[in-house]
């Protein structure tokens, strides 16, 4: 919901940094994999109850996720890079709630519910992208991407805000997880309604 609105604010500094990194030979894929490693390290830190480190590494992951796209725009995007980027994003997204579930056994159920909601959201997102590409649809609401990005209530910005809240208030993890899982389900319904309206033969 907020991703497209934040683009005009974050894209100019990211694109400037991306051009500088591309100029010294840094590749988008290198940043994608470095970001994934930091994100998974953050999840591991959370699982071992080092929430401060977890939060710092989550923020570092998101910074590199923004920079990999900026470098890709500077060097020219690739289909393989787009594939690696989305796989890395979802691997990171599911790792964080799983880490909270490992950290405290009482949080296992809400963690699994949130992961399941992420799977549903991801399937609806990717299915929409595949059919939109088949029909030749395009959008740059989320910037120039390798494939069609459909808008929803629960997007990257909201997910990171939720992860930050979980790190800052771990005692509220269950309530936050259930609440955001519900928002993810609403996003799936919203995207499905959009698909029904746009893809109707």
pLDDT, tens digit, for every residue of 52-111? 999 999 999 999 998 988 898 888 878 888 889 989 999 999 999 999 999 998 999 999
CA distance linking residue 10 with residue 181, whole number of Å: 27
The residues pairing with 141 across neighbouring beta strands, listed in sequence order, are 143
Q: What is the pLDDT of residue 14?
A: 74
pLDDT digits over 137-195, tens only? 655 544 455 555 566 666 778 889 999 999 999 999 999 999 999 999 998 998 888 87
CA distance linking residue 110 with residue 162, whole number of Å: 14
Q: For Cα atoms 56, 6, 139, give the angle at the middle one, nearest 5 degrees.
A: 120
CA distance linking residue 47 with residue 176, whole number of Å: 17
Q: Which of 87, 96, 70 is nearest to 33 (CA)?
A: 87
The CATH number assigned to the domain holding 185 equals 1.20.120.1760
| Strands (DSSP E) found in the chain | none
CA distance linking residue 44 with residue 37, whole number of Å: 10
Q: How many domains are contained in the chain?
A: 1
- Higher pLDDT pick, 106 / 12: 106
Tokens 């995207």 -> residue = 191
Angle between helical axes of 28-47 and 51-75 (0-180°, round to 10) = 170
> Around Cβ 188, how many Cβ atoms within 10 Å?
19
Domain around 140: 3-198
Q: Provide φ and ψ at 181, rounded to 5°.
A: -60, -40
pLDDT digits over 16-53, tens only? 887 888 888 889 999 999 999 999 999 999 999 999 99
């Amino acid at each position: 919901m907020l991703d497209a609105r934040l683009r005009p604010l974050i894209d100019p500094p990211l694109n400037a940094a991306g051009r500088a990194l591309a100029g010294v030979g840094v590749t988008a894929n290198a940043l994608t994999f470095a970001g994934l490693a930091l994100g998974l390290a953050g999840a591991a830190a959370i699982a071992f109850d080092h929430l401060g480190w977890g939060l710092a590494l989550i923020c570092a992951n998101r910074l590199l996720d923004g920079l990999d796209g900026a470098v890709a725009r500077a060097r020219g995007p690739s289909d393989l890079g787009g594939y690696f980027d989305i796989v890395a994003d979802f691997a990171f997204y599911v790792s964080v709630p799983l880490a909270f579930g490992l950290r405290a056994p009482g949080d296992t159920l809400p963690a699994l519910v949130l992961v399941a909601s992420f799977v549903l959201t991801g399937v609806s997102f990717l299915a929409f992208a595949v059919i939109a590409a088949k029909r030749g649809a395009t959008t740059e609401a989320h910037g120039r991407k390798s494939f069609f990005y459909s808008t929803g209530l629960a997007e990257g910005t909201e997910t990171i805000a939720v992860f930050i809240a979980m790190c800052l208030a771990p005692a509220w993890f269950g309530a936050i997880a259930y609440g955001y899982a519900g928002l993810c389900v609403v996003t799936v319904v919203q995207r499905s309604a959009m698909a029904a309206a746009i893809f109707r033969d």
